[in-house]
Structure 1
């Protein structure tokens, strides 16, 4: 199967941002124990490109529109860094700031290989957000390792059967939902994603979008603390995602208030996996951007209780899903309106939490020790982002941020506050917000 069609609006937005400075592209980072052979990895990437139609496509300009084209697509490039003093964080920052040459191919891979008695590799896969979401990007990383193992042990029989092409998601939305949005569109102009006022972190330095870059902080939570958080969330009748959002919202409110305000209006963007809601439902093995979001609005004032806020986030997400708000991004995205307001982010906070990553740990001689992801956010201004995965009992958190909009020093303070709120709450301490 091949992909030859115009990009849908939700696919155009990532390409527009990619062309500015690589924003919105997803980089998956894996720590792998065991030797990775460059030639075998290239073979695995060749097969992966045959498996997924979007990986065997590129984006071209056709008049006033952008199109997926399956002709003259280049192989997925592999860059190997041997015995380098570079750390994976440095490579990840490079990747989320580098434009994907979408007229050639829509993904690239870096292998950071450290030689020694205990061979440790880092595999970083960067994928265009127009063809993948975080969930399918992590599944892709697992598929690459699985193909590598099968090639290494002579188990793989080629050729690989290409998965079916995924049409624009509007075509897979239930008819009742589709009809409802079409009626709204015919009776009114396209609505922006957000209409409620909210406050953001503020610009430390304002520069044009094309001059911004993306920084990143990384944190991990050990197995004991991760399990304690899970248990406490159950006791408090909320979700881990609700708790993560509450921690981020309180940290953002503390920065915004700066001890001068007694009330802050903030909101939180939570991505939602659309796969279960489509007809037919889609599996995680399909590489595509099958995601929307719910934006919850909150008023934080003196004596705001942490767990009340976490439950509030959970309830608003559930209401958004039940009310069909998750389909708004497919039918109401106004790219021009978003791109012509470069200094107005979509939300105060955005938390992408994939929860427990359900992929294998062992691939023959290779052992997957860590897996997490980050997205480029250079163009997105003073919005607070967090991407989260849980694997083998540990929680991995990445915090991308726009520079020089926010400085690394400011982000360190905000992140420390967020994790402090989260830790105190999970230990059963009564966390009350104090400006």
Structure 2
């Protein structure tokens, strides 16, 4: 059925047409603006992606440089490691060379001492001067030392030897282990088959004990070791070995050419300690009073260090004899001070 357009409807349609046209135009404008905004946004995205791409390229290049740098560092560390290995090997060789030189100087020193002592034209008293100094332990320190030695199952002599051996090792300042030899004059009267009573004579044996020391050596362990090794010498029947050697030397004809040797050679000996123990001697003799007593065993001039110890009325008296050409005075006093510090520290 055809549509009938009346005047009213025609006029109404014409009335709405401009409104539609305005709405369409506004829609077109918004669309246009939206397109512009979208276009601008796409441009910004495009620019951002370009910047990101450039940034990634820079990162890639940076990582390549880092990788190359790490490779160079790795190579450098390898070269440094190899260099340190060579340095370590070199220091080992240098240490070996120094040890050989030290041994050589020792033999040279021994040879020089032998030549000096066996040259009758030289005055060895001036060339090899003997020095002495003395000191005392109080009655409280002496009593404490005796009691502590009993607790530690060792002897006072063992503790004294330990103190001076550790002091010598400290003076040497060696980072490695060292071996020191200590001689102990022993009264052999009670070991003789013939009773010599109070007859005058050198009834002394001088057994030598060797001790390995390091920076970790314990004081009381070393003191017990000294005592055990001396007891082992006696138990093994070797107490008279040096006496027999001296007797054989004195009865030989080795000095026909004018050369003499000491009947009890001390080559290689680092220390001699004579401990007479607790002496039962009066202190008063009429108007005279015995205040101090210092005694030491005889020894050849080639002995660098000797210590004499005697205890009288609960006080310990010590005397140090040293060969100045072999042991300078500063070192001798350092050894004494360090030994006493070791001893008193062990008693604390």
Q: TM-score range by the shorter chain?
A: 0.5 to 0.7
Paired residues of 1:212 and 1:378 also in contact (CA < 8 A): no
1:269 corresponds in structure 2 to 183
Using the alignment, how far apart are the partners of 1:342 and 1:329 within structure 2?
A: 7
Using the alignment, how far apart are the partners of 1:341 and 1:359 within structure 2?
A: 32
The yes-or-no answer on 1:299 pairing with 2:220 is: no
Using the alignment, how far apart are the partners of 2:306 and 2:262 within structure 1?
A: 21
Superposed CA offset, 1:325-380 (max 9, x none): 11112212346699399997351111100010122222233222222213565622
1:353 corresponds in structure 2 to 275
Instruction: Show structure 2 runs of 5+ residues with no match.
Output: 1-102, 118-123
Using the alignment, how far apart are the partners of 2:290 and 2:221 within structure 1?
A: 37
Instruction: Show structure 1 runs of 5+ residues with no match.
Output: 1-196, 428-435
The yes-or-no answer on 1:413 pairing with 2:334 is: yes
What is the TM-score when the length of structure 1 is the normalising length? Answer: 0.47
Question: Per residue, is there more helix in 1 or in 2?
Answer: 2
Superposed CA offset, 1:256-312 (max 9, x none): 2x2x432001111111111001122333x3221101022111111231100000000
1:278 corresponds in structure 2 to 192
Cα deviation for residue 316 of structure 1 reads: 0.5
Which residue, 129, 132, 138 being the options, matches 1:213? 129
SS of 1:345's equivalent in the other structure is: coil
2:312 corresponds in structure 1 to 391
Aligned residue pairs: how many? Answer: 224
Tell me which of the two structures has the higher relative contact order, counting C-alpha pairs closer than 8 angstroms and 6 or more residues apart.
1
Using the alignment, how far apart are the partners of 1:338 and 1:325 within structure 2?
A: 26
Using the alignment, how far apart are the partners of 1:341 and 1:273 within structure 2?
A: 18
Matches for 1:118-267 after TM superposition, within 5 Å: 208-209=116-117, 210=124, 211-256=127-172, 258=173, 260-267=174-181
Mark the CA change 1:358 to 1:282 in structure 2 (over 3 Å): closer, same or farther. farther
SS of 1:371's equivalent in the other structure is: coil
Paired residues of 1:342 and 1:379 also in contact (CA < 8 A): no
Cα deviation for residue 225 of structure 1 reads: 0.6
SS of 1:386's equivalent in the other structure is: strand
2:295 corresponds in structure 1 to 373
Using the alignment, how far apart are the partners of 1:322 and 1:224 within structure 2?
A: 34
SS of 2:309's equivalent in the other structure is: strand
2:30 corresponds in structure 1 to none
Name the larger-Rg structure: 2
Using the TM superposition, name which of 410-419 and 336-345 deviates more: 336-345
What is the TM-score when the length of structure 2 is the normalising length? Answer: 0.59
1:83 corresponds in structure 2 to none
